[in-house]
């Protein structure tokens, strides 16, 4: 099932849809898929489009070529920026990455090589991460006299804890896929050949559940990390909202009738 949004006028993204799963591929392989401003903007557009398509089951974000997911923000665009321009760049990156985190559909990063700086931050903004055995994760900004700006100091701390986050940001050390798995930074490690199939398998499994409930899970888990938001209250609200959905009626009826639920996402 293709979509009208497939490969529509993006300069640096390839977008395709297969059986209700949207794959967004960052496509600057000769720059190891470094995120220039245009690419960040296009990721925002692609996520907004995907969020608004009821038929989509979920989204995979990956990088073009065999070597790199995303090797960071495009360093060539940093030259000559003022502090105010640097802040604007970080604000825009954070806005787009938050839109991934808040996407009501499941988003999986298929990490097929270097996930450094903004690439590690992009992967961390996704709900789940599957890493190929050749994946490398790191926040090497201190090598450039910089720090992470697209949410990396916050999300890495959330995933691996304060001590390891300090270490990784301050030493710029890279993690292998296996180390990232041990630290719960990634959900699974696969061979490069099996990477996309593993992501598709996870999204197919989630697609058998209620899309309304899955969106409630995303909103509630995210609330744990939101400044000034009581996650327990958010969970109460989202739990209550479920009772107004057709999915809830279908899910409970199917259980009592001993049949498989057919959710419509309403
Ligand atoms: N921004 C801009 N260009 C980048 C880039 C980035 N973050 N990462 C890689 N590239 C470019 C290189 O400049 C090179 O371009 P060129 O062929 O026109 O010279 C091309 O991608 C290939 O990279 P190269 O360094 O030759 O590959 P490598 O295999 O020797 O090294 C890395 C791979 C990832 C270790 C190395 O590219 C690197 O350290 N990149 C920067 C990582 C980083 O600091 N990211 C955080 C940015 S805030």
Query: Which two tokens mark 233?
Result: 């209250």
* DSSP reduced 3-state for 234: helix
Tell me, yes or no, whether 198 and 115 share the same domain.
yes
CB atoms within 10 A of CB 156: 25
Q: Is 60 left (phi over 0), alpha (psi -120 to 50) or beta?
A: beta
Q: Please check whether residue 50 lies inside any domain of the structure.
A: yes
- Residue 128 pLDDT greater than 90, yes or no: yes
Tell me, yes or no, whether 193 and 124 share the same domain.
yes
Tell me, yes or no, whether 103 and 233 share the same domain.
no
Residue 21 beta carbon below 6 angstroms from any ligand 1 atom: no
User: How far apart (Å, rounded) are the C-alpha atoms in residues 119 and 69?
Assistant: 7
- The reported pLDDT for the residue numbered 9 is 85
Decide which of 184, 206, 228 is a domain's last residue. 206
Q: Please check whether residue 8 lies inside any domain of the structure.
A: no
- Integer angstrom CA distances of residue 230 from 149, 156, 194: 26, 22, 39
- Residue 7 pLDDT greater than 90, yes or no: no
pLDDT band at 5 (very low <50, low <70, confident <90, very high): low
Q: Please check whether residue 2 lies inside any domain of the structure.
A: no
Q: Please check whether residue 61 lies inside any domain of the structure.
A: yes
Residue 75 beta carbon below 6 angstroms from any ligand 1 atom: yes
Annotated catalytic residue, options 42, 121, 178, 226: 121
Tell me, yes or no, whether 226 and 202 share the same domain.
no
Which mutation among 28, 72, 115 tests ligand 1's pocket best, with the greatest number of atoms within 8 A of CB?
A: 72
Tell me, yes or no, whether 199 and 225 share the same domain.
no
Residue pLDDT, tens place only, 185-243 = 999 999 999 999 999 999 999 999 999 999 999 999 999 999 899 999 999 999 999 99
Residue 31 beta carbon below 6 angstroms from any ligand 1 atom: yes
Our count of domains for the chain comes to 2
pLDDT band at 85 (very low <50, low <70, confident <90, very high): very high
Distance (Å) from CA 261 to ligand 1 centroid? 48
Q: Please check whether residue 126 lies inside any domain of the structure.
A: yes
141 is catalytic: yes
Tell me, yes or no, whether 158 and 123 share the same domain.
yes
Distance (Å) from CA 69 to ligand 1 centroid? 12
Tell me, yes or no, whether 52 and 171 share the same domain.
yes
Question: pLDDT averaged over the chain?
Answer: 96
Tell me, yes or no, whether 94 and 51 share the same domain.
yes
Q: List the one residue out of 8, 122, 110, 7 whose CA is nearest residue 73.
A: 122
User: How far apart (Å, rounded) are the C-alpha atoms in residues 54 and 181?
Assistant: 32
Residue pLDDT, tens place only, 21-60 = 999 999 999 999 999 999 999 999 999 999 999 999 999 9
Cα torsion 94, 168, 61, 72 to 10°: value is 70
Tell me, yes or no, whether 77 and 164 share the same domain.
yes
Tell me, yes or no, whether 102 and 225 share the same domain.
no
Decide which of 165, 185, 206 is a domain's last residue. 206
Q: Please check whether residue 217 lies inside any domain of the structure.
A: yes
Distance (Å) from CA 73 to ligand 1 centroid? 10
167 is catalytic: no
Tell me, yes or no, whether 95 and 225 share the same domain.
no
Could you identify the atom of ligand 1 that is nearest to the CA of residue 67?
Answer: 29
Q: Please check whether residue 230 lies inside any domain of the structure.
A: yes
User: How far apart (Å, rounded) are the C-alpha atoms in residues 73 and 79?
Assistant: 12
The residue range of the domain holding 224 is 211-256
The pair phi, psi for residue 174, each rounded to 5°, is -95, 145
Tell me, yes or no, whether 28 and 157 share the same domain.
yes
CA-only gyration radius of the chain, Å: 19
| Angle in degrees, CA 167, 170, 174, rounded to 5 | 70
Q: Please check whether residue 6 lies inside any domain of the structure.
A: no
């Amino acid at each position: 099932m293709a979509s009208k949004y497939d490969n529509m006028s993006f300069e640096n993204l390839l977008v395709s849809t297969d059986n209700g799963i949207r794959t967004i591929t960052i496509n600057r392989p000769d720059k190891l898929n470094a995120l220039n401003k245009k690419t960040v903007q296009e990721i925002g557009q692609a996520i907004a489009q995907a969020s608004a398509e009821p038929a989509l089951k979920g989204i995979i974000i990956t990088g073009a070529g065999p070597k790199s997911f995303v090797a960071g923000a495009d360093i060539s665009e940093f030259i000559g920026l003022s502090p105010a321009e640097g802040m604007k760049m970080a604000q825009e990156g954070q806005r787009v990455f938050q839109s991934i985190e808040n996407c009501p559909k499941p988003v999986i990063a298929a990490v097929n090589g270097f996930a450094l700086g903004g690439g590690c931050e992009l992967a961390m903004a996704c709900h789940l991460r599957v890493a190929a055995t050749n994946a490398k994760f790191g926040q090497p900004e201190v090598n450039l006299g910089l720090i992470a700006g697209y949410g990396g100091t916050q999300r890495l701390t959330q995933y691996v804890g304060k001590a390891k986050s300090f270490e990784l940001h301050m030493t710029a050390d890279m993690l292998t896929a296996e180390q990232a798995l041990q630290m719960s930074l990634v959900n699974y490690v696969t061979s490069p050949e099996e990477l996309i199939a593993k992501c598709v398998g996870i999204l197919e499994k989630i697609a058998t559940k209620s899309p309304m409930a899955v969106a409630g899970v995303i909103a509630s888990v995210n609330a744990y990390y939101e400044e000034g938001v009581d996650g327990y209250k958010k969970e109460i609200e989202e739990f209550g909202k479920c009772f107004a959905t057709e999915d809830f009626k279908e899910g409970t009826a199917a259980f009592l009738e001993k049949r498989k639920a057919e959710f419509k996402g309403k």
